[in-house]
């Protein structure tokens, strides 16, 4: 019962935060960008491992650099999708295939 209640509370908080950020995005783009940057930095700083924080900062810098030239919200979405699928095909899928081959080898 408690786990379900906690889950619902987290869901409600996330929805409220989303609505607030959505309104901020529409009404005050500069404040939205400041808040977005603050949230990203807070998340990176929450990593316990210094090396992990460095990798996360590097990834975020790369993301920001790649998105800088998007020009519009639509283009940002198109770029994000392209980056995701490129990463999926270059990193995730080969990793999944490798794990699958290893599991099959162990099962034989």
pLDDT exceeds cutoff 90 at 1: no
pLDDT exceeds cutoff 90 at 91: yes
Give the mean pLDDT of 90-94: 95
pLDDT exceeds cutoff 90 at 69: no
- pLDDT computed for residue 108 by the predictor: 83
- pLDDT computed for residue 52 by the predictor: 96
Largest CA distance in the chain: 60
**DSSP string for residues in 16-27:** HHHHHHHHHHHH
Torsion-angle region of 47 (φ positive above 0: left; ψ -120 to 50: alpha; else: beta) = beta
pLDDT exceeds cutoff 90 at 89: yes
Would you say 79 and 66 are in contact if contact means Cβ atoms under 8 Å apart?
Answer: yes
Would you say 57 and 44 are in contact if contact means Cβ atoms under 8 Å apart?
Answer: yes
Give CA 24 to chain center in angstroms: 19
């Amino acid at each position: 019962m408690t786990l379900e209640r906690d889950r619902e509370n987290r869901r409600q908080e996330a929805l409220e935060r989303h609505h607030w950020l959505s309104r901020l995005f529409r009404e005050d783009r500069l404040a939205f960008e400041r808040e977005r940057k603050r949230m990203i930095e807070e998340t990176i700083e929450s990593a316990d491992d210094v090396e992990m924080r460095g990798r996360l900062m590097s990834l975020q810098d790369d993301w920001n650099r790649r998105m800088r030239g998007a020009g519009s919200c639509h283009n940002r979405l198109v770029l994000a999708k392209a980056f995701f699928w490129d990463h999926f095909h270059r990193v995730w899928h080969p990793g999944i295939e490798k794990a699958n081959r290893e599991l099959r080898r162990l099962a034989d």
